[in-house]
A and B are shown apart, each in its own frame.
Chain A
Amino acid sequence: MAERAQPIGRARPASLHPVAPWPGTCAALGVALLVLGTLAAVAMRAEGGGSGFGPAEVSALRFTLIQASLSAVFSVGLAIPVARALARRRFAGRRVLITILGAPFILPVIVAILGLLAVFGRSGWISDALGVFGIAPLRIYGLHGVVMAHVFFNLPLATRLILQGWQEIPAERFRLAAQLNAGPRAMWRLLEAPMLRRILPGVMAVIFAICLSSFAVALTLGGGPKATTLELAIYQAFHFDFDLGRAAVLSTVQLGLTVVAAVLALRVPVGEGFGAGLDRAVVRWDATGRSATALDVVWIGFATLFLMLPLLAVLVAGAPGLLSLPAPVWSAAWVSVQVAALSTVLLLLVALPLSASIALGRRQLGEIAGILGLAASPLVIGTGLFVLIYPVANPAHVALPVTALVNMVMALPFALRILVPRMQQVMQQNARLALALDMRGPAFWRRVIWPRCRAQIGFAAGLTAALSLGDLGVVALFADPETATLPLQVYRLMGAYRMETAQAAALLLFILSMGAFWLLDRGGKFHAEA
């Protein structure tokens, strides 16, 4: 009745959406409050600290920038020929290979590191082979090891993004160029170079931003005054010296850096990276020559070996010990599963209303969540939460919920990239009819959004569960010696030089995270409509 009491002609706008946008707005504000609130807590602490920015901090800043730049350059430099080869070749297993290129994204860092160590380490496969010829073993620790691990993780991402650029060149252009008898060189100048000029800065910026907040890689392969990233320095200030002031100063620098990088990365257009349609090969009339074919084979072979060998090594090294794992590993695995489940539930509670609000036209929410999610560093949020919790409770008691919460924030930008486009489509196609039928709120969620977005929800949930299972970050900050997630347990086993048990536990972690992803992703797609 209240509506009818309004003055005529100035009718109160009735809701023209089948779902209200406010829950999404609340979710975005909650995330912003978490990221900015913890930053504020850290900043206040930093002022009190006053230990300043000494040579150790300068060195950490320099190493962070150098390793991130090198990682971006090498990842992109190697990805260009691989993407080019994938774009112009069709072969059996091409689709599988491109799917596998997406796998390192959800691969636990600690698993990859054990795999890399097993292949490139001091007593790894290659060092052993070199030893036969009396050559000294490889050394993987330090800057080159950190960069190599980053290339392992980001080469696939770079390849997928660049491949997308290649496939966005319309087939007609290639046809036209072929008709003009353009050779490989002309093709490069006319079509490929301009595309790369457009797309590479964005790809570089994204990888640079990702590598800036590298923690687990630096923790395991770096370390020492010469190979410490800012994130690692925060952890050390905390864990070894319990110097909150210093951790706060480092956190502030880290956050400034990541915000700048995230803004830069979002400025330059890049594609989805895990979008569909990458399995289409364009017919290329210029690449039929024998040398071009050989070159492509070499590059595809290189990428496959580089990415698959470490995974194979984890499998081979871990399998014998898998069934005789000690009890603490199993209990850590159980803890990890619980954290991942909580993290996934939290993500859905935030990402679903948020993506619905973005789909209803609240675009700025998506941008805020995107920048914050990319710029937020787990260690900074962790430090902030520690500073806030420390006076009231023992932080070790809340280590697991805090880990789940931080993992959710980390997964949020990726989940939104998956959910928002589909949500927009669903709103566009169904909102009017739902409104006409007076279907609103819970009924619209249950009857329209859920069945229509199930595949995307499953994908986002699977991604979050896998990322959370594999995360070695904030938990290292909070946990006491009695509690551990599985990645932390693997790290502790490595630190105790129990490599065989560590490898078996890593294999278990690998199986768990891939299994969680597969289960949720398949579950969403099962009997779902396109």
Chain B
Amino acid sequence: MLKLDAVTVQKGDFRLQADLQIATGAQVAVIGPSGAGKSTLLEAIAGFLLARDGRILWRGEDITALPPGQRPVAMLFQDGNLFPHLTLRQNVGLGIDANRRLSAAQTDVVSAALARVGLGGMEERKPADLSGGQQSRAALARVLVQGRDLLLLDEPFAALGPALKAEMLDLVAEIVAEKGATLLMVSHDPQDARRIAAEVVLVAEGRALPPLPTAEMLDNPPPALRAYLGAPQILDPDR
């Protein structure tokens, strides 16, 4: 279980408070108006922002003061998820060990991960030689080899077209299911939430609220969410 115990994070003048729990293996969408602090919440969990108050616990262990790379977290950002000067093999290999050379067995793991996301045989390509969708797949291959318990997505697929984005989300869902990982995913699109997330964390007015079932939340949104979502008809996928 991921537990945010009365956590306060400060980013300049902006302050976000979070007091919530997320079950191990849950798939959670983080939604809310822009500027409400969705990314801030993820950055705090990943360790890029330090909690000013409160504790963050993963399976009962306090990770509040751990540096980002030592938390049980793999995170994908909006951009810059691959080093542009390294090949895919090197980029994905960093997920196994960023500080040492890889063994032959580890290199095989990298190739297998690339094949798993549909990039088999592209080990020596560099990110610039790939399409946006392929770059996302390569980043997901690294997430695969990292084998972390928590996967945080800060809209890494925002620049992709709708069909490609849906494809990536399905791939994420598969990976998360295979690994039994816990997923937190920032989203602007309620459809994304419905697609792969069973629960929704609403971030609004400087607060991250405890997760609620997605369908319930979107069908019967609280006022802050309703203001963000606008007209109710877009919420119903059947119409």
Contact = CB atoms under 8 A, between A and B. Distances in A.
Q: Label chain B's interface by main secondary structure.
A: loop
Interface string B80-94: 111111100010001
Contact of A438 (B65, B86, B99): B99
B181 interface: no
B143 to A, nearest CB: 10
A436 B85 contact: no
Contact of A529 (B69, B85, B90): B85
A14 B47 contact: yes
Interface residues of A, number: 30
B69 A8 contact: no
A448 to B, nearest CB: 7
A90 interface: no
Given A14-B65, A443-B99, A435 B85 contact: no
A8 B7 CA distance: 11
A430 B51 contact: no
Contacts of A443: 98-100
Contact of A433 (B52, B65, B80): B80
Contacts of B70: 438
Interface string A450-480: 0110000000000000000000000000000
Most buried by B among A6, A12, A433, A452: A433
A185 interface: no
A529 B73 CA distance: 30
A19 to B, nearest CB: 13
B86 A435 contact: no
Interface string A6-19: 10110111111000
A4 B99 contact: no
B75 A436 contact: yes
Contacts, number: 88
A451 B84 CA distance: 10
A418 to B, nearest CB: 19
A447 to B, nearest CB: 7
A432 interface: yes
Given A14-B47, A14-B50, A452-B85, A434 B98 contact: yes
Range for the number of chain B residues in contact with chain A: 35 or more
B30 to A, nearest CB: 18
B64 interface: yes
Contacts of A12: 65
A447 B86 contact: yes
A482 interface: no
Nearest to B98: A439
A3 interface: yes
B182 to A, nearest CB: 17
B51 A435 contact: no
B95 A16 contact: no
A440 interface: yes
B110 interface: no
B51 A432 contact: no
B50 A439 contact: no
B53 interface: yes
A219 B223 CA distance: 82
A4 B57 CA distance: 11
Contact of A4 (B50, B62, B75, B85): B62
Given A432-B48, A437-B95, A438-B70, A11 B84 contact: no
Interface string A509-530: 0000000000000000000010
B103 to A, nearest CB: 16
A11 B69 contact: no
A430 B80 contact: yes
Contacts of A13: 50
A529 B75 CA distance: 26
B29 to A, nearest CB: 21
14 contacts: A8-B54, A11-B50, A12-B65, A14-B47, A14-B67, A16-B50, A432-B80, A434-B98, A435-B67, A437-B98, A437-B146, A438-B68, A439-B98, A448-B83
Interface of A: 3-4, 6, 8-9, 11-16, 429-430, 432-443, 447-448, 451-452, 529
The 5 closest A-B pairs by CB, nearest first: A438-B69, A439-B98, A11-B65, A14-B67, A443-B99
Interface of B: 46-48, 50-55, 62, 64-70, 73-75, 77, 80-86, 90, 94-95, 98-100, 146
